[in-house]
Amino acid sequence: MGGVGGNGGSEDAGQSGPGGPGGPGGGIRWTYAFVDRPLAGFERAGAFWTAVTATKLSEPRGDRAEFVTLLPETGDACVKAQGVEAGAGGAHPDLAAEDVPALVDRAVRLGAEVVAPDDGWAVLRSPAGQLFCVVPWHGESVRPPVVDGSRLDQVCLDVAPADFEGEVAFWAALSGWDSYPGSRPEFHVLRPPAGLPVRILLQRLDAPRPASAHLDLACADIDTTRVHHESLGATVLARHPYWTVMRDPAGGTYCLTARSPETGGLPPTAG
């Protein structure tokens, strides 16, 4: 399970703002990272993720109070959480658009499947099987600040080898974002226009397995962030040269990555 992609340059260079219809961003006006955790551990997940992102929980929503938004002190929210009844959970991206039906139609034309249409939004499945949502844009435009040297800024899609190239093509075409190989051959980066808070990294797995996703934090210093997360109940699963795999108190895995929290780029010596 990885979590590093991109280059050492500024991830925001050459972009002027969130993508508008027909322009950079493919009509995606805002992005959310969704923390999916089992309902049994949902309270623990909420306490942990609000602590590491310096946010507070919104009032719960949904029939089982299974949805919450993580509200920052400044800026617009870009992280939400969902309690799931079955499975270990994981993560998924939400794409906010001014024209939800148009983005849904585009996704379907590119090979996605609508799993659950709703009034004004939809749950879809990518060609490789990754769930994601298309939701209305409500004017979000201000990215929350870096918190204690780290920022939750990336959803990493973990893709089986046979599905990887097709999944890269799907997400690149759907988003319209800058698309380029990562620092290692198993990574591919989709960099959104400046101002959008969450980007997408695709990781080619070593062996076949169902599509899944995890969250990545960009860290100015991985060890400093790791110690802070451990003090909040997280544990280390594996260490690599430029990322550390962690497990949160609710059992979900995520990565701390050696990327700039400001730009999302790798340090110049990484590669």
pLDDT, tens digit (0-9, with 9 covering 90-100), for 44-77:
999 999 999 999 999 999 988 999 999 999 999 9
List C-alpha distances in Å: 171 to 102, 130, 136, 180, 258: 16, 11, 19, 12, 24
Mean pLDDT confidence for 186-215? 96
- Look at residue 7 in the predicted model and tell me its pLDDT: 32
Q: Would you say residue 252 has pLDDT above 60?
A: yes
Q: Would you say residue 173 has pLDDT above 80?
A: yes
Q: Would you say residue 199 has pLDDT above 70?
A: yes
- Look at residue 79 in the predicted model and tell me its pLDDT: 98
List C-alpha distances in Å: 174 to 110, 164, 242: 7, 15, 29
Which amino acid makes up residue 52? V
Sheet holding 79-84, edge to edge: 55-57, 67-72, 79-84, 28-38, 90-97, 131-136, 122-125, 113-117
Q: Give residues with Cβ within 8 angstroms of 118, minimum separation 6.
A: none
pLDDT in tens, 3-57: 433 333 323 333 334 554 334 456 999 999 999 999 999 999 999 999 999 999 9
Q: What is the mean pLDDT of the chain?
A: 90
pLDDT in tens, 143-165: 999 999 999 999 999 999 999 99
- Look at residue 18 in the predicted model and tell me its pLDDT: 52
Q: Would you say residue 98 has pLDDT above 90?
A: yes
- Look at residue 257 in the predicted model and tell me its pLDDT: 98
* Separation CA 224–CA 222 (nearest Å): 6
Q: Give residues with Cβ within 8 angstroms of 139, minimum separation 6.
A: none
